Every structure is written in structure tokens, then in C-alpha cells.
């Protein structure tokens, strides 16, 4: 059997048998404790600076950010963005309570369809689980309220993210995830819109995924407003 063959070959190479219990215990303790290594200093700054770093990094990677005061302002911000870009006002929307609870009728032209994305959807809206300031990265775990296809199939990916969910380094994001969701089936870390440099080593945006990534950042965290 291949499992035994491979493990046996590894142990022969390492010139030992299966790990003794005490050593295996130490490794199990390392897994449970999952210690952090060196975490770069750049994201370990006061809250307002962390939010500013997150926004600067999203923009550096060709994403865009609109900052609004409360969740109630989200439909208007999305309506404005789609109108300015001359885009369809039909869009696929994640069945997340934050989004379902919004008054979409406040902008009569906006027509969200709740569910996963289809191949023909041009605009998709999802709820951002967390933001990572270190590199302007969104953490988008798959849950029934956040279908993965919404991150991928649209030409435009819209994400509503609460400022209280912006953390410094990736490690803080993992801790949130372990505490709240365990390890979901799929966790996407998304940094900017899709791109490719496969043609003559020259960057082009919009390879197979979204050409545009637009984040509506909701200022729900008084400590984060500088």
C-alpha cells in the first residue's frame, strides 16, 4: 500500500522509525498552539493608520474603495459606483443578513438577485468577512451566506466590509476565523482584481476573474476614524 510505502521511505531517509510519543506530543502541542513567527511591523499601528494602510494597499493593487458612515449608506454608494461606471444595475447578491437587511428600494434602479453567481452575471456583491491591512487583502470564507462564485464570476466584484473587521496582519484574520467559523470549505484571500502578465511579461487586468474590485468600507468603528 502506498501510504505505508511513502511513510516507510521517509522514515528510512530520516534513519528512524515512527516518532516516539514524547516527540509526537511536542509536535501536537505546536499544532494546537500554532505559534506566530515574525510579523512585519508595518501593520501594527494605531487603528486609524491601519485603516489608511488597508485602503492604500487596495488602491496600490488596482482596487477601489468608497468609505461610508453606516450600512444604510451602502445602496447609495453602490448605485453611484455603478452609474459612474455606466454598468448594469442588476446584480447577484450574497444572502448575508447585513446585505438582506438593507433598504435597496432607496435606489429604485438597483435590482439585487439573491443567491450564488451565474456565468452571465456582470456584477456581484458579497459581504467581506475581514480585511488585512498588511497587503490590502480581503478574507472571503465560503459559508451559506457568502457563496464563492460571487468573488469570481462577475466583471465587477463589489464587497461590503465593516471597518471594525479590518485587522493588521494575516495572523489576526486567522484568529478571527478560528474563533468564529473554524476552517470553512474555502477561504479566499483576495488582493485586487484578476490580472495576468502571461502575454509578453506585461500586466493586464481582468484575466478570468473580475476586472474591477470595489470595496464599500463602512465606518462602524469609532476607534478607526482618525
Partner 1 sequence: MQSTSPAFKANVTGALADAGLQKALTFTRPRFPERRAAAVAALPEFERLRDIGRDIKNHTLANLDFYLETWADNVEKSGGHVHWCSTADDARAAVLAICERVGAKTVTKGKSMISEELGINEHLEQHGIAPVETDLGEYILQLRGEGPSHIIAPAFHLNREDWEESFRKSHTDLPADRVFGERRDILVEARTILREKFLAADVGITGANFLIAETGSSVIVTNEGNGDLTQTLPRVHIVLASIEKVVPTLEDATSMLRLLARSATGQDFSVYTTFSTGARRPGDLDGPEEYHVVLIDNGRTGMIGTEFQDMLRCIRCSACMNHCPVYFTVGGHSYGWVYPGPMGSVLTPGLIGVEKAGHLPNASTFCGKCESVCPVKIPLPKLMRHWREREFERHLTPGAMRTNLAIWGWFARRPGLYRTATRLAAWGLGLLGRKRGRFASLPFAGNWTEGRDLPAPEGETFFARYAREQRNQA
70-109: contacts with partner 1 (CB under 8 A) = 95
The correct pick among 50, 126, 194, 212 for binding partner 1 (CB under 8 A) is 194
Does position 21 interact with partner 1 (CB under 8 A)? The reply is no
* Closest to partner 1 by CB, 82 or 172: 172
Does position 64 interact with partner 1 (CB under 8 A)? The reply is no
* Closest to partner 1 by CB, 150 or 218: 150
CA distance readout (Å), 88 to 42, 67, 91, 140? 39, 22, 7, 24
* Closest to partner 1 by CB, 35 or 108: 35
Does position 11 interact with partner 1 (CB under 8 A)? The reply is yes
Does position 147 interact with partner 1 (CB under 8 A)? The reply is yes
* Closest to partner 1 by CB, 23 or 111: 23
Least Cα distance to 177 among 225, 129, 111, 117 occurs for 129
CA distance readout (Å), 131 to 10, 54, 55, 113, 168? 40, 7, 10, 25, 8
Does position 210 interact with partner 1 (CB under 8 A)? The reply is yes
Least Cα distance to 119 among 153, 70, 156 occurs for 153
| Region near partner 1 per CB under 8 A, out of 45-53, 159-167, 183-191, 215-223 | 183-191
Does position 129 interact with partner 1 (CB under 8 A)? The reply is no
Beta strands in 19-128 (DSSP E): 64-68, 90-93, 111-114, 123-127
Phi/psi of residue 179, nearest 5 degrees? -70, -40
| Region near partner 1 per CB under 8 A, out of 47-55, 64-72, 77-85, 206-214 | 206-214
* Closest to partner 1 by CB, 14 or 222: 14
CB of 84 to partner 1, least distance (A): 22
CA distance readout (Å), 188 to 69, 89, 162? 27, 26, 18
The HSE-up count of residue 43 (CA atoms within 13 Å, CB side) is: 23
Q: Which residues contact 38 (CB under 8 A, 6 or more apart)?
A: none
Phi/psi of residue 111, nearest 5 degrees? -130, 90
The correct pick among 76, 107, 206, 221 for binding partner 1 (CB under 8 A) is 206
Does position 179 interact with partner 1 (CB under 8 A)? The reply is no
The correct pick among 43, 127, 149, 212 for binding partner 1 (CB under 8 A) is 149
Amino acid at each position: 500500500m502506498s501510504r505505508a510505502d511513502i511513510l516507510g521511505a521517509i522514515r528510512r531517509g530520516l534513519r528512524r522509525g515512527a516518532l516516539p510519543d514524547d516527540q509526537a506530543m511536542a509536535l501536537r502541542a505546536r499544532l494546537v498552539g500554532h505559534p506566530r513567527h515574525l510579523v512585519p511591523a508595518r501593520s501594527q499601528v494605531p487603528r486609524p493608520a491601519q485603516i489608511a494602510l488597508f485602503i492604500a494597499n487596495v488602491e496600490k493593487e488596482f482596487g477601489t474603495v468608497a468609505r461610508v458612515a453606516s450600512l444604510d449608506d451602502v445602496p447609495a454608494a453602490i448605485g453611484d459606483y455603478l452609474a459612474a461606471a455606466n454598468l448594469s444595475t442588476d446584480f447577484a447578491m450574497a444572502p448575508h443578513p447585513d446585505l438582506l437587511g438593507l433598504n435597496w428600494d432607496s435606489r429604485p434602479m438597483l435590482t439585487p438577485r439573491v443567491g450564488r453567481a451565474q456565468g452571465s452575471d456582470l456584477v456581484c456583491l458579497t459581504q467581506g468577512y475581514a480585511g488585512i491591512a498588511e497587503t490590502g487583502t480581503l478574507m472571503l470564507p465560503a459559508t451559506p451566506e457568502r457563496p464563492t462564485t460571487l468573488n469570481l464570476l462577475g466583471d465587477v466584484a463589489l464587497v461590503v466590509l465593516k471597518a471594525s473587521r479590518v485587522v493588521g496582519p494575516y495572523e489576526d484574520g486567522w484568529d478571527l476565523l478560528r474563533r468564529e467559523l473554524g476552517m470553512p470549505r474555502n477561504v479566499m484571500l483576495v488582493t485586487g482584481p484578476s490580472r495576468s502578465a502571461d502575454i509578453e511579461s506585461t500586466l493586464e487586468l481582468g484575466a478570468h476573474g473580475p476586472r474591477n474590485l470595489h470595496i464599500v468600507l463602512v465606518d462602524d468603528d469609532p476607534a478607526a476614524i482618525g
